[in-house]
Structure 1
Amino acid sequence: MDNRDSNGVATLTVTRSEPVRVQPAEHAGDEYYFLSNLDQNIAGIMKTVHLFAATSRSNEDVGQVLRDALAKVLVRFYPFAGSLAVGSEGKLIVKCNGHGVPFVEAAAAESGIEVLGDISIPDHEKLGMLVYVEPEAKNLLETPLLTVQVTRFKCGGFVLGLAMNHCMADGLSCVEFLHSWAETARYLPMSIVPFLDRTIQRAREPPKVEFSHPEYDELKDESNLTQLESEPTQYRSFTFDSKKLGQLKNMAMEDGSIKSCTSFMVLSALIWRSWARALNMDPRQKTKLLFAVDVRQRFGPPLPDGFFGNGIALGCCLCEAGELQNSPLSFAASLIQTTVRNMTDRYIRSAMDFFELNRSKPSLTATLIISTWTKLEFVSSDFGWGEAVQSGPAELPQKVALFLPQVKGIKSTRVVIGMPTSSMKAFQKMLEI
């Protein structure tokens, strides 16, 4: 039986071992590893947890199995064993100095994995126990590019917790790394061999900025949003099945301003508009929507299969809050549709060149970020104990909305978002259709 607090809520206690640094089983790679301008913008730690239910196979040796397989797979993914540094151009690079990947074995000896419940709604306090963060690291340059924690539960299940620097991998590359690691753990050849040369994403010489890039625009806070953001964050999950998504598409197309609309576009339009309304933004407030677009096939030529890195560019929509709040759904959906359509090879390279010249980071005032996991097969990695039963973020910043696929064969999308407590009730009301 799980430990419970005075309110009868199951509690979690995790005991960690000391971290062991895992090195590649063989020497690989050069002394320095190039990071592209698409990597520079999103350097920050992503924390994810992957839950594996109990099977007939004991979990006693899961730490050993995953650690041994990690050493082997790091031969192909050797930059993870390095550390972040600033190169001669003033940009981030990876120094392949044998720093290694901190690997922690842990145990929740008094709890079954069911104590975690539905992890799609982030519980930083509980899920944070399942991800190892190096306590001595004072800044991003001192933070490992990847840390691993394997936590065994009393029931026989286990959780794989990762803290990975986003500059190393986008969602698809992270999934492919997990798959390769899992295949290695089962003594299988890698089904996708990673392509590590990111110099194919170098800025042009000389840099050539051909388009405006509003994602970098500094917006004035006309709506006192900073005060709202200091409030406690309340998280909620909303499910949109195929029927609801169909209704939304019809709503977006009913005035004839757009002829077609994907589920991503219409759902993003609804979330952005509802978010701006719930925060009661001043009509004159400029507001941005940022979202990642997979541009692997949009480059000319396309990025190679197995490309390891960030094959995403930031799409950006910008308008006044009053126009967004008071317009039909087609307005925001049309902005998103146009942005996605314009993400051509020329536009992407212009964005990379803009960073080369300005070294800017996207401004996040009055900005909502949408992160989409609906097509990422995180749960399909099998290390020898079956596929994961749940995967999700260990934490979610307040300005991020996460789109997750619904599990168990139901075709739907779950939207997870954190809002200031005073705004969540209004936000919920606006999603009722």
Structure 2
Amino acid sequence: MAITLIGSCMVRPNEATWCGRLPLSEWDQIGTITHVPTIYFYHKPTTLHTSTIVNTLKDSLSRVLVPFYPLAGRLHWINNGRLQLECNAMGAQFIEAESSSTLEEVGDLSLSSEYLYHLSPNVDYTLPIHELPLFIVQFTTFKCGGFGLSLAISHAIADGQSALHFINEWSRFARGEALEMVPFLDRKVLRAGEPPLAPLPAGHGRSEFENPPLLLGQSTNMEQRKKKTTVEFFKLSKQQVDGLRNLANLSWGKPSNGRGYTRYETVAGHVWRSACKAREHKNDQPTCLGVCVDSRCRMKPPLPKGYFGNATLDVVATSLSGDLVSRPLGYASSRIREAIEKVTDEYIKSEIEFLKNQQDLSRFQDLHAMRSDKGPFYGNPNMGVVSWLTLPVNGLDFGWGKEVQMYPGTHEFDGDSVLLPGLDSDGSVVLAICLQVDHMDAFRKHFYQEESC
């Protein structure tokens, strides 16, 4: 796909905003701290010129950056792998580009990782972090008149729920509507910038922050990190999802709390099992699945409505590959349920305390995009399955209608996957997954081979 860059500018808040340094919470500073892109595709509006669309996007962005002024700032390293946010109204970057392709050539769930790469902003992580905008937009017009809108937000500033809060408020401004929910910007509710309450006892550790298992017989994950990967999209209809849920609930006794397994617990368990089969693990191969849990309503009291920042934490479900493969789907779902149910108010506060006692946070940061080999690796024999199933990712209308397709951006690392709701809100689920090239064909076979698929 040939992409020509037309221009780039900084869009700053159109009113004066507060300036100064803000501490970040521990959740902001671990896991992924690079940009997370999403891409929306639109047909050409019949009554609007492209220049009008671009001007509308820029103008509304300058206005929404007033209440969401942290996104117009810049990050700074301070010490020991820790970050601070400088609110300085430097602005968000708006890139304009043109493609020689047509929107029809994008197809339905057929974009390769190469296409996604060219349609997403290219963030140069060799630059000092304080030079990188926290929000970057790439507006790409196709020769048919349609266009793509790629939105990349620094994960150090916002998790998925906060990012979509901002994006949806931006679309409201573009439509001429008022702010619906004021963002809550005080991260001190998660004790941002505060010292630990007490030193940790000697030898105290947290299994959630340990390095994931390695392949049996290997002493490092370097060989697996170097393997060539590819990205594919898989769709499950509502009927297929319901079939998997029935299979999970009937195959492994009564789920804890008497609740049936959720869509996430079921489909994520299915992905985990299918990956173990495709990778042809030995029966005694330890494997883990990274699960992202929203803490907003699990804390006592719950976080304020509109909390803007990272309020999700990662937990891990563990098993032996042989158990996952030989036992029914409900077993995998039960392992995921067990991991999620650990996330209580007490657990969340203890995790924060653990991180506050760390001398250096860099070992908990996913720095793959910065071409670093540090941080956790959830590739073979492990997986990460992030759920966007309950997030308002679809129906983004800036005033010229809803998107015709939405994709998560580039996912370049083995084991990285996202579950998305179907575009038509029909109960279907889309899996975007990155695996080693050598494993993808086998994964496809096993993913659709399950009895209910």
TM-score (norm 1): 0.89
Partner of 1:307 in structure 2? 307
CA distance in 1, matches of 2:431, 2:58: 34
Task: Give the partner amino acid of 2:39.
Answer: V
Counterpart in 1 of 2:226?
Answer: 230
Q: Tell me if structure 1 keeps the 8 A contact 2:417–2:431.
A: yes
* Residue matched to 1:44: 34
Count of residue correspondences: 420
Alpha-carbon shift at residue 379 of structure 1 (Å): 2.8
State the match for 1:395 in structure 2.
Answer: 410
Matched, 1:132 2:126: no
Counterpart in 1 of 2:248?
Answer: 252
Percent identity, aligned pairs only, is 30
For the pair 1:64 / 2:55, whether they are aligned, the reply is yes
Q: CA deviation at 1:294?
A: 1.6
Instruction: Give the structure 1 partner of residue 274 of structure 2.
Output: 274
Counting only pairs closer than 5 Å after superposition, residues 340-359 of structure 1 correspond to structure 2 as: 340-358=340-358, 359=361
- More deviation in 295-304 or 361-370? 361-370
Could you report, residue by residue, the CA deviation over 1:26-53 in whole angstroms, capped at 9, with x for unpaired residues?
2212411221111111212212211121
Amino acid at match of 1:401: S
CA distance in 2, matches of 1:28, 1:213: 40
- Matched letter for residue 250 of structure 2: E
Residue 427 (structure 1) aligns with? 443
Q: Alignment partner of 2:272: what SS?
A: helix
Letter in 1 for 2:376: S
Read off the aligned partner of 1:192 and give its amino acid letter.
Answer: M
- The match for 2:371 is none
More deviation, 183-192/356-365: 356-365
Match of 1:241 in 2: 237
User: d(CA) in 1 for partners of 2:199 and 2:285?
Assistant: 31
Give the aligned residue type for 1:308: F
Answering whether residue 236 of structure 2 is matched by residue 221 of structure 1, we say no
Seen in structure 2, the aligned counterparts of structure 1 residues 107 and 235 have a Cα distance that, compared at 3 Å, is: closer
Task: Give the aligned residue type for 2:190.
Answer: Q
The offset of 1:240, in angstroms, is: 2.1
Counterpart residue identity of residue 154, structure 1: K
Q: Secondary structure at the match of 1:27?
A: coil
Q: CA shift at 1:67, angstroms?
A: 0.9
Tell me the amino acid that sits aligned with residue 430 of structure 1.
H
* Alignment correspondent of 2:377: 364
TM-score, normalized by length of structure 2? 0.85
CA gap of 1:212–1:278, structure 2 versus 1, over 3 A, is farther
Confirm or deny: 8 A CA contact 1:209 1:351 kept in the other structure.
no
C-alpha distance in 1, partners of 2:34/2:134? 9
Structure 2, unaligned stretches of length 5 or more?
365-374
Name the CA shift for 1:89/1:235 in 2 (closer, same or farther; >3 Å).
Answer: closer
Return the letter of the residue paired with 1:332.
A
Partner letter of residue 221 of structure 1?
L
Residue type at the aligned position of 1:364 = F
Quote the Cα distance in structure 2 between the aligned partners of 1:103 and 1:317: 39
Q: Give the secondary-structure state (helix, strand or coil) at the position aligned to 2:51.
A: coil
User: 1-side partners of 2:25 and 2:110: how far apart?
Assistant: 32
Map 1:189-228 to 2 at 5 A: 189-202=178-191, 205-206=196-197, 213-218=206-211, 219-222=213-216, 226-228=222-224
C-alpha separation in 2, matches of 1:363 and 1:151: 34
Distance in structure 1 (CA, Å) of the matches to 2:199 and 2:402: 46
Contact 1:39–1:166 at 8 Å: present in 2 too?
A: yes
Contact 1:258–1:330 under 8 Å retained in 2: no
Structure 1 residue 421, shift from structure 2 partner: 2.1
Please tell me the root mean square deviation across aligned C-alpha atoms, in Å. 2.5
8 A contact 1:268–1:333 mirrored in 2: yes
Deviations 1:210-254 (A, max 9, x none): 996323112343255654553332333222223322332233233
Deviations 1:107-138 (A, max 9, x none): 33x443222223x4552322323222354843
1: CA distance between counterparts of 2:296 and 2:81? 26
CA contact (8 A) 1:237 1:416 kept: yes
Distance, in Å, in 2 between the alignment partners of 1:139 and 1:420 is: 31
Q: 1:242, 1:163 → 2: CA distance?
A: 30
CA contact (8 A) 1:123 1:395 kept: no
8 Å CA contact 1:276–1:325 kept in 2: the answer is yes
- Cα separation, 1, equivalents of 2:154 and 2:103: 27
Conserved? CA contact 2:19–2:89, under 8 Å: no
Take 2:199 and 2:321, find their aligned partners in 1: how far apart are those partners?
A: 32
Q: What SS does the corresponding residue of 2:288 show, helix, strand or coil?
A: strand
Deviation at 1:204, TM superposition (A): 7.2
Q: Which amino acid aligns with 2:328?
A: P
Letter in structure 2 aligned against 1:363: P
Unaligned runs of 5+ in 1: 1-11
Corresponding residue to 1:406 among 419, 422, 425: 422
- Match 1:54 to one of 44, 47, 51: 44
In the alignment, does 2:88 pair up with 1:94? no
